[in-house]
Amino acid sequence: MNYIGIDLGGTNIKGALVSAKGEILKEHSIPTRVDLGPEAVAGRIGQVIAQLSIGEDTVGGVGVGCPGTVDDASGIVRFAANLNFVNFDLRSALRAHTALPIHLGNDANAAALGEALFGCGRGAESTIVVTLGTGVGGGVVQDGKMLTGYTGHMVIAENGEECTGGSRGCFEAYSSATALIRDTKRTMAAHPESLLHAIAAEQGGVDGRTAFLAKERGDEAGAQVVEDYIEHLACGLTNLVNIFFPEVLALSGGVANQGDALLLPLRERVRERSFGSRYAVSHTRIELCTLGYRAGVIGAAMLARE
Ligand code: BGC
C-alpha cells in the first residue's frame, strides 16, 4: 500500500506519494496562497491529492502535516498563526476533495517521524527533531512512536521578544530564521560600519545567511548576531536534552544549512549546560537531519500508514 503525505506550509503545499517503506514515488507542490483563506487552501490541498492519486489504485490514505495545534481526533486545526487558521475543521473541508481516509498531525511532528524512521534517527531509540524555519517546530519520537498532544511554544526568556501567537520570550522568537533576520536588521541599524550592509546588498536582501557570511569575513557585528543566535538556540536545545535525554537531537530548516558553523559551537554549549554532563558520559548526538524537505512529506504519509 502507498500513502499520500502533505506538508502544509505558509508558502507551499508539498505533496508526495510514498510507499510503506518511506520511498517517494511521485511528488507535486503548489503555492499555498494563505491570502485566499482556509477553505481555498483546503481546495488547493485537494488539487495536490488529486494529482498524486491519478492512475493510483493502491492509496491507503492521506496524512497532512500542518503547523500549529492540530487535533487529529476532531480533525480541527485549533490555531496556526502562519496560516491564519483558527478552529478550522480541515478534515471536513478536505472531505469535499477526497474520499480517502485523512489523518492530521503537526508539521514538525511529521518531520520528526520521517527522520526517525528513515533519516538521521534510523536505528536510534529516541529522536528529537527541531525545525528552524519561519517558525520553530519540534517533534519527539520514542521507539518509532511519536509523542503527541497539543503542541505549544516553549518559553526561553521571561517577558522576552514578542512571538507570533501573542506571547513573549518563545523559543521561536529567538531561534527561527525570522528572528535571526530581525536581529540582523537591528544590528545593521546600530552598526552602519558593519560588513552586513555590503553582504545584504550582494545577496539581494537580508536573510538567515547574512550574519553567518559577515562573521566568516571577520565582521564583529555579524559575529555578535551569530553568537546571540547560537546562545539562545543552545538554551532551547539544552531544555529539550534535560527533559527528554534523547539519543539523537537533529536540526532541519533553512538555518540548519549553516552546517558546522552552527553545529560545532552548539554541541559544545549544549554539552556544557546539560544536567550532569560533568559526571555522565554525553548521551545525546546533535546532528543535522538528512531527508531535507522530504522528511515532512514522508512523515505525513506515515501518519496515514499508522
Ligand atoms: C508552530 C508549530 C510549527 C512550527 C513550524 C510554529 O510557529 O507553532 O506548530 O510546527 O511553527 O512550522
61-97 per-position pLDDT tens digit? 999 999 999 999 999 999 998 899 999 999 999 999 9
Ligand 1 pocket check: which of 72, 79, 82 to mutate, most ligand atoms within 8 Å of Cβ?
A: 82
Gyration radius of the chain over CA positions = 20
Distance CA(86)–CA(157), nearest Å, equals: 26
For the stretch 151-190, pLDDT in tens is 678 999 999 999 987 899 999 999 999 999 999 999 999 9
* Å from CA of 217 to ligand 1 middle: 33
Percentage of the chain with pLDDT > 90?
90
Q: Which atom of ligand 1 is nearest to the CA of 152?
A: 8
> DSSP string spanning the chain?
-EEEEEEE-SSEEEEEEEETTS-EEEEEEEE--GGG-HHHHHHHHHHHHHHHHTT-S-EEEEEEEESSEEETTTTEEEEEGGGTEEEEEHHHHHHTT--S-EEEEEHHHHHHHHHHHHSTTTT-SEEEEEEESSSEEEEEEETTEE--S---PPB-STT-SB-TTS-BSBTHHHHSHHHHHHHHHHHHHH-TTSTHHHHHHHHTS--TTHHHHHHHTT-HHHHHHHHHHHHHHHHHHHHHHHHH--SEEEEESGGGGGTHHHHHHHHHHHHHHSTTTTTSPP-PEEEE-SSTTHHHHHHHHHHHH-
Three cell numbers, residue 191: 552598526
The better pLDDT of the pair 250, 150 is held by 250
Q: Is 299 in the pocket of ligand 1 (CB under 6 A)?
A: no
Ligand 1 pocket check: which of 86, 163, 172, 293 to mutate, most ligand atoms within 8 Å of Cβ?
A: 172
Distance CA(107)–CA(66), nearest Å, equals: 5
Q: Is 253 in the pocket of ligand 1 (CB under 6 A)?
A: no
Q: Is 106 in the pocket of ligand 1 (CB under 6 A)?
A: yes
Return mean pLDDT, the chain.
95
pLDDT at residue 150, as a whole number? 62
How many of the other CB atoms lie within 10 Å of CB of 27?
Answer: 17
pLDDT at residue 82, as a whole number? 85
Q: Which atom of ligand 1 is nearest to the CA of 81?
A: 7
How many of the other CB atoms lie within 10 Å of CB of 145?
Answer: 11
Q: Is 108 in the pocket of ligand 1 (CB under 6 A)?
A: yes
Q: Is 66 in the pocket of ligand 1 (CB under 6 A)?
A: no
Q: Is 138 in the pocket of ligand 1 (CB under 6 A)?
A: no
